[in-house]
Amino acid sequence: MSIESQNVTDYPNSNTIFMVWKLNDSPQLKDVFQQLCALVLNLNNSVFNRFPDSRASCVMGIGSEGWKKLELPTPLPKELISFEEIKGVKYTAVSTPGDLHFHLRADNKSIIFDMGIEISKLLSPVAESILEIHGFKYWDARSILGFVDGTENPHGEDRDYFAKIGDEDLPYKGGSYLFVQKYLHNMDAWKSLSTEEQEKVIGRSKENDIEMSDAVKPSNSHIALANIEGENGEELKIVRDNMPFGSPSSNEFGTYFIAYSSTFSTTKKMLRNMFIGDPAGNYDRILDFSTAVTGTLFFVPTRNMLDEFSG
């Protein structure tokens, strides 16, 4: 039987709902989880048949504590642990709880809204919703900060290579490590910078999304620290599906950072570069304007595993 992954390599969509749930100790938990796995499969099949051009999908991830509560197969995926905070001299990539994560996306927001209702209706008796973010495409895939987001994303077959687990962890081949952070932006401080100063923080031109040359790009720019290589100089990438969110009336604006990867160690290396610095102390300047208020690691099972979990 061929391995069928969840939709971790789909391209970013126009509308997204992110949900994080914490499971309780209900005696109904395992039964509800079986139904949930069947529901996720059903939702994906249904929207594909009903709205084939909507690019709609529902991706479910499971945290390490959730995995244990549900008594799922052991050993766990090799790198699935509770995320440990990464503390730099000035800023910290915080660790926050989460047992289940849902990534709902579609061109038509009505589709994901109804998906969220069905998931919430099933989960509410056995779990608590601890985060819900409604993201949206902002202009030509820009963050609220005004710069194009995700330019370094891999394309084509590279998306599978960098996002999905390979033969190194055969029981979980085709799955993916999912790491998420909710960032809040200090827009007043950001807007106080000139366009030229903003470009030095990011490492790209604001209007045309052109990367600065190495001779000009500051060593503490976001691009300089977030683009990483392996020990032998090989390129290391993750598949990002970041989405902006915000509330104009409350002046809360942010980015939901979401990364799928074949190894969490890749994402962790990037986070260490950003928060600790390379070298240490040379932290990512974007953190002067963006605060991570969550940080959670999940594993995304294959559809084959969801089918098994559904009983």
d(CA 219, CA 12): 29
* Predicted confidence pLDDT, tens digits, the chain (311 residues): 799 999 999 999 999 999 999 999 999 999 999 999 999 999 999 999 999 999 999 999 999 999 999 999 999 999 999 999 999 999 999 999 999 999 999 999 999 999 999 999 999 999 999 999 999 999 999 999 999 999 999 999 999 999 999 999 999 999 999 999 999 999 999 999 999 999 999 999 999 999 999 999 999 999 999 999 998 889 999 999 999 999 999 999 999 999 999 999 999 999 999 999 999 999 999 999 999 999 999 999 999 999 999 98
Whether 167 is covered by a domain: the verdict is yes
Q: Write out the two tokens for 151.
A: 């330019």
DSSP letter at 56 equals -
Smallest CA-to-CA distance from 93 within 222, 221, 183, 227 is with 183
Report the sign of the C-alpha dihedral through residues 188, 191, 194, 197, in that order: positive
Q: Quick check: is 149 catalytic?
A: yes
Contact (Cβ atoms closer than 8 angstroms) between residue 40 and residue 56? no
pLDDT of residue 273: 97
Query: Within a 10 A sphere around the Cβ of 73, how many other Cβ atoms?
Result: 13
State the total domains in the chain. 1
- Flag whether 8 is in a domain: no
Q: Which of 152, 51, 80 is nearest to 305 (CA)?
A: 80
Answer yes or no: is 9 within a domain. Answer: no
Convert 16-55 to b/e letters by CB count within 10 Å (16 or more is b).
bbbbbbbbeeeeebbebbebbbbbbbebbeebeeeeeebb
3 lies in a domain?
no
What is the CA angle 209-213-215, rounded to 5?
150
Taking the CA atoms of 31, 36, 41 and 45 in sequence, report the sign of the dihedral they define: positive
Angstrom distance (rounded) from CA 208 to CA 304: 42
- Please report the pLDDT score of residue 245 as a whole number: 98
pTM of the model: 0.97
Q: Is 35 part of any domain?
A: yes
Residues near 49 by beta carbon (within 8 Å), at least 6 away in sequence: none
First to last CA, the chain: 18
What is the C-alpha to C-alpha distance for residues 154 and 157, in angstroms, rounded to an integer?
8
Residue 227: what residue type?
N
| Residues 230, 234, 239, 240, CA torsion sign | positive
- Residue range(s) defining the domain that contains residue 210: 15-309
Beta-strand pair 176-185/252-261: antiparallel
Among candidate residues 149, 160, 214, 288, the one labeled active-site is 149
Residues 6+ apart with CB under 8 A from 191: none
Is residue 6 in a domain?
no
What are the pLDDT digits (tens) for 10-63? 999 999 999 999 999 999 999 999 999 999 999 999 999 999 999 999 999 999
pLDDT for res 61: 99
